[in-house]
């Protein structure tokens, strides 16, 4: 009877770990999608997709020259 208890305990632990792995994989996928959407919006704010390649390059260089303002710590 003791062997069955150990087997069932290991079996349940493996199932719990599998469920946790699936949940964490889903969370990682949702987070990755969210970050990509944010970065797409951020890049569109700096350089719109409607510009030509040269205009996009100039917009990036201008953004790098000006540099975004930083909040001053108090």
Reported as half-sphere exposure (CB side, CA atoms, 13 A), residue 47 has a value of 16
Report CA-CA distances (Å) from 11 to 3, 6, 16, 41, 58: 12, 8, 9, 45, 60
Residue 74 lies in a domain: no
- pTM exceeds 0.85 for this model: no
Q: What is the pLDDT of residue 74?
A: 64
Q: What is the pLDDT of residue 69?
A: 66
Residue 51 lies in a domain: yes
Residue 28 lies in a domain: yes
The string of pLDDT tens digits covering residues 10-46 is: 999 999 999 999 999 999 999 999 999 998 888 887 7
- Please state the domain count of the chain: 1
Q: What is the pLDDT of residue 60?
A: 83
Which comes out higher in pLDDT, residue 64 or 2?
Answer: 64
Give the structural domain span for 49: 2-66
Q: What is the pLDDT of residue 68?
A: 67
């Amino acid at each position: 009877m003791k062997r069955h208890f150990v087997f069932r305990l290991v079996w349940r632990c493996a199932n719990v770990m599998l469920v946790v792995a699936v949940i964490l994989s889903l969370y990682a996928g949702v987070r990755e999608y969210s970050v990509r959407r944010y970065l797409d919006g951020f890049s569109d704010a700096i350089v719109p997709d409607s510009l030509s390649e040269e205009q996009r390059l100039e917009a990036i260089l201008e953004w790098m020259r000006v540099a975004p303002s930083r909040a001053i710590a108090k």
